[in-house]
Structure 1
Amino acid sequence: MKHIIATLSILLMLSAGCKRDFDAANPNAPTVESFWKSSDDAVKGINAVYGTFYRTPALYSRWIYYHGILKSDEGFGSGGDGGLNNLMRFNQTNYNDGLTSLTWETLYVGVFRANQVIANVPNIPMDEGLKTRIIAEAKFLRALFYFNLTLYFGRPVILLTPSQTTDKPGNATTQEAYAQVAQDLNEAIPGLPERYTGTDLGRATKGAAYALLGKTHLQQKNYQAALDAFNWLVTGPGRQIYSLTRNYRDNFRVNTENNSESVFEIQFNENLAENTDDDVDESRTNNTGTSISQFFGPPGVGFNDGAARRWLIDEFFQETNATGGRDPRLEASFIFDNMDPRGPAFSMVYGQTFASRYGNGPNANGVWFRKLLNDHWKNEEGFRSPNNYRLIRYADVLLMYAECLNGLNRSAEAYPYVDEVRLRAGMRTLSVARPGLNQAQFLAQLKHERIVELAGEGWRWADLLRWGDLSKALASRDPEFETFVAGKHEYYPIPQRDIDLNPNLTQNPSY
């Protein structure tokens, strides 16, 4: 009986479908008009914007780290992913390649979602304080998406209202795009709280917005504007909120998340409801863990798709700490043969010694980024790591603050902020180690400080771009830069399919 009814129903739908107007709206589909009605809708809407972070694999689940870490001189494609390896060698002939085009596309998913919130939440009758906060969060998130679009693609399209299929906007300039990022952040700051608790932990705060605003200005070498933004965190109210953790490694452990040094971090959990640890496609489910640990994990515990360059290890040996030992940030940042100073037989890699895992084989000289991994509590990696990504740390803010002061030719005033970072690591203060540096010398020192403090955290490409250091000269420590073309490879190509659909969109130079 049920089978007959079901079959009849299908036949009726098929016969009706022959006369259907396919341009008509689906009456069963939710619409903008039917959704944005209550405060619950507003909260669901802003949560969906944060949900863009977890769309697999283009953003903070995996690929954003390839763009910020592996593409720089810090890392390289070390495994069998030919597409990734070619991209890291600046060899891209398919401008629709998912590694870049899907990142572009997913960032615009976030922009679209944020625009929906900004356009519709003001009209909802609800608590005005919550309304203000939600709109401010949306503007912060839109700014973060546009910051990444500008950093990696240079000339994005700026969309500030919910997009329509008939829209055909042209490229913004890099300066126009960064200006929009700054505007969104300035508008967001008054509506954002200084702190959250409970289930709201991880939402955008006032400090996060000031930090990203400072990064935005600093990336353009607008030192005074950047300094003004960072002031809230370094000399203003934020100084009572943020401080360096006593233990550097606490910034990368799953059990010490959202600590005093965290200005903004991407929240992850392990997806315990899933029965397998396979890779996740959002068409099935949203991966609220991150899969980067599986792809950055060394052989035997992960895929080894991305690894670190050996020159980074040497950078840490440029000076000893205050007691004559080595910089403790070294073993906190990398897995390598001498993590333990006694050598490979004592250096532990996921429960085994480095010597027993890799011996004298092809990986005996390997170096892997440790900060995004889980070796402190697991014996193998997987696709659903719950370890949060610390997107902006207070140590980063202090070093950027010093860079602003130096850029304004106030180098002597910048020393205490570098000293604060060095002292936490047990290093001698820069005031003692290298007093009296001029502006150029101080910048050179800051470049070193950012390597040993922030290696493998995703900011190296932005640093090199800002300093004007992207060139073939980097090939001396990263052979992939042999094929780097100045004036071209600073940015990715804009997806060709978007250009084909939009006559007002133009490709980046030299592609």
Structure 2
Amino acid sequence: MKKIIIGFAAVLTMGLAGCKKSLNIVNPDAVTTQQFWKTAADAQSGVNAIYSTFHRTGPCRWYFFATMIRADEGWSKSGDPNLIANFDQFVVSDYNYGNVYGGLWTDNYFGVNRANQVLDNVPNINMDANLKARYIGEAKFLRALFYYHLATFFGNVPILLKSSLPSDKPETSPQAAVWAQVEKDCADAAAVLPASYTGSDIGRATKGAANALMAKAYMQQRNYQAALAPLQAVIQSGTYALTANYQDNFLSTTENNSESVFEYNNALNPNDTHDDDTDVGAEDNLNYGSSIPPFFAPPQLGFTDGEARRWPVAEFEQEKTTTGQRDPRLAVTFLFDSTDVRGPNFTQIYGQTFASRYGTNNVANDNFIWFAKLLDYNNGTSAAPGNFEIFHSPNNYRFIRYADVLLLYAECLNATGATSSAYQYVDQVRRRAGLATLSVAKPGLSQDQFLVQLKHERITELTGEGHRWNDLARWGDLGPGLASRDAGFKNFKTGKNEFFPVPQREIDVNPKLKQNPGY
């Protein structure tokens, strides 16, 4: 799958923004849409182009600021005041700020448009019927994924189901309609996608991925009853299993493993110097990796624009393993003064001890603690000891892990009154971490108590993976009450800051769009 990522000249490079009049000279050597969409190879290239959207800055960089740094598990002291204002402090001064407009809005619509081109054209290609159905299923899953992110970040957004034209002026659709489109696309995809792949196709969207994303959409609407069936389908498929080693979920050497339901496949292009796959004129030498590592890396090793809060450490320290050790997931999740339980003189930070790099007095409050799962050095990939982190990390992002599915299923069972049946799914996750099963540690929890416990379990299992914002939104926990552990939430205005503003330039060219409340 790392090798399928793209060279597709026919993909339109427009978002929803209007186009200025300019002198356009036709390149006689360029492939046009009239010449393309003729063969099975064209169909494959078109689908591959959708996957390549993951290497644009929105999905591979700003997504993590929006889901982790904006949430209570992270923060920013970046020198870029717009970065802090938009992702951490809930003080939005520029509705056209590029990292929201260019990243989270345009890049997701870029993916939607690529998917729509496949869905508009591949049905007309004379090719193997089963392969055609699979390609259409992949496109529908990927379109659903982009709309899942748009519904998360902007709430009410336009729903585009056909290839975009410069003259398009779509109306805003309510968030409920966006979720419904996600669910429909996922259901269609699940009906035709295979359970797994072999060879170079490993990493493509599967039936399990479609069912899991469908369930996530239902859950964000608190429709737990509807989410049960697709989650159960993933679990009962027998396709997935937790890895024996938790850290295998964050290493480039153990990608697409038994726990992977869906991941963004990244690849290292050692000759690339670009941030993402958007550079016009450099289509043969693009970035196919993730650019988040330098933004999350510690001082001296990256920009350190995104950092972790220290309060989750206490969540990991609530329990010892059955052998009396610290929860092993803590050392995988964070780089900090005590990643090694023996302290800063033993903790290694890119080949040097924490003490030698940063001293031992810089560990108060939220200082000097960093998310580790998405970095290169701590995960055995390309950054050598002492090197600055790179913009083209080959380490895949595991968007949906089987552990996440198990915890979501337990949450749905609990929410629908089957708390006693939910224990076994949490127990699987805890057992892998070496903890006593919840059935032994805390039997007989009430429905409310079990939800509190699940919130803890999702922190210890999933912190630093981009799920925290949606968890807080689903539980109704977003609000100023989080300010006790994240000062940025002092500025949070309920009914407004759950979403970003729609970029003003989009409204300027399309007056049918509606701005989000409060902006």
* TM-score, length of structure 2 as denominator length: 0.90
Cα pair distance change 1:23/1:337, threshold 3 Å: closer
Q: Which is greater in Rg?
A: 1
Match in the other structure for 1:215: 216
Establish whether residue 475 from structure 1 lines up as the match of residue 513 from structure 2: no
Establish whether residue 267 from structure 1 lines up as the match of residue 268 from structure 2: no
Cα pair distance change 1:280/1:31, threshold 3 Å: closer
Whole-angstrom CA distance in 2 between matches of 1:337 and 1:104: 37
Q: Secondary structure, in 3 states, of the residue corresponding to 1:409?
A: coil
TM-aligned CA deviation for residue 26 of structure 1: 4.1
TM-aligned CA deviation for residue 286 of structure 1: 2.6
Whole-angstrom CA distance in 1 between matches of 2:191 and 2:275: 42
Establish whether residue 496 from structure 1 lines up as the match of residue 504 from structure 2: yes
Match in the other structure for 1:258: 256
TM-aligned CA deviation for residue 319 of structure 1: 1.8
Match in the other structure for 2:439: 431
TM-aligned CA deviation for residue 363 of structure 1: 6.2
Match in the other structure for 1:335: 335
User: Residues 441-499 of structure 1, C-alpha deviation per residue, up to 9 Å, x if partnerless?
Assistant: 11010000000000000000000000000011101000010100000000000111111
1:340-359 paired onto structure 2 within 5 Å: 340-359=340-359
What is the root-mean-square deviation of aligned Cα atoms in Å?
Answer: 1.8
Whole-angstrom CA distance in 2 between matches of 1:207 and 1:281: 30
Point out the more displaced range, 358-367 or 484-493.
Answer: 358-367
Whole-angstrom CA distance in 2 between matches of 1:388 and 1:482: 35
Whole-angstrom CA distance in 2 between matches of 1:481 and 1:428: 34
* TM-score, length of structure 1 as denominator length: 0.92
Cα pair distance change 1:22/1:66, threshold 3 Å: closer
Cα pair distance change 1:299/1:361, threshold 3 Å: farther
1:117-156 paired onto structure 2 within 5 Å: 117-156=118-157
Cα pair distance change 1:442/1:497, threshold 3 Å: same
Whole-angstrom CA distance in 2 between matches of 1:152 and 1:69: 13
Say if 1:487 and 1:510, in contact at 8 Å, map to a contact too.
yes
Cα pair distance change 1:349/1:23, threshold 3 Å: closer
Establish whether residue 392 from structure 1 lines up as the match of residue 400 from structure 2: yes
Q: Which of 359, 372, 380 is equivalent to 1:370?
A: 372
Q: Secondary structure, in 3 states, of the residue corresponding to 1:59?
A: helix
Match in the other structure for 1:75: 74
TM-aligned CA deviation for residue 324 of structure 1: 2.2
Aligned length: 485
1:104-253 paired onto structure 2 within 5 Å: 104-234=105-235, 236-237=236-237, 240-253=238-251
Q: Which amino acid aligns with 2:82?
A: G
Q: Which amino acid aligns with 2:79?
A: G
Q: Which of 496, 505, 511 is equivalent to 2:513?
A: 505
Q: Secondary structure, in 3 states, of the residue corresponding to 2:368?
A: coil
Q: Secondary structure, in 3 states, of the residue corresponding to 1:368?
A: strand
Q: Secondary structure, in 3 states, of the residue corresponding to 2:51?
A: helix
Match in the other structure for 1:15: none
Cα pair distance change 1:393/1:22, threshold 3 Å: closer
Say if 1:36 and 1:121, in contact at 8 Å, map to a contact too.
yes
TM-aligned CA deviation for residue 32 of structure 1: 2.4
Say if 1:277 and 1:382, in contact at 8 Å, map to a contact too.
no
User: Residues 96-134 of structure 1, C-alpha deviation per residue, up to 9 Å, x if partnerless?
Assistant: 111211120111111111000001000011111111111
Whole-angstrom CA distance in 2 between matches of 1:346 and 1:128: 59
TM-aligned CA deviation for residue 282 of structure 1: 2.5
Say if 1:398 and 1:418, in contact at 8 Å, map to a contact too.
yes
Say if 1:320 and 1:427, in contact at 8 Å, map to a contact too.
yes
Give the gaps of 5 or more residues in structure 1: 1-20
Say if 1:171 and 1:505, in contact at 8 Å, map to a contact too.
yes
Q: Which amino acid aligns with 1:259?
A: N
Query: Sequence identity of aligned pairs in percent?
Result: 53
TM-aligned CA deviation for residue 341 of structure 1: 1.2
Q: Which of 394, 401, 422 is equivalent to 1:414?
A: 422
User: Residues 282-341 of structure 1, C-alpha deviation per residue, up to 9 Å, x if partnerless?
Assistant: 233431111101110111211111000010111111222212221111011000101111
Say if 1:68 and 1:460, in contact at 8 Å, map to a contact too.
yes
Q: Which amino acid aligns with 1:78?
A: K
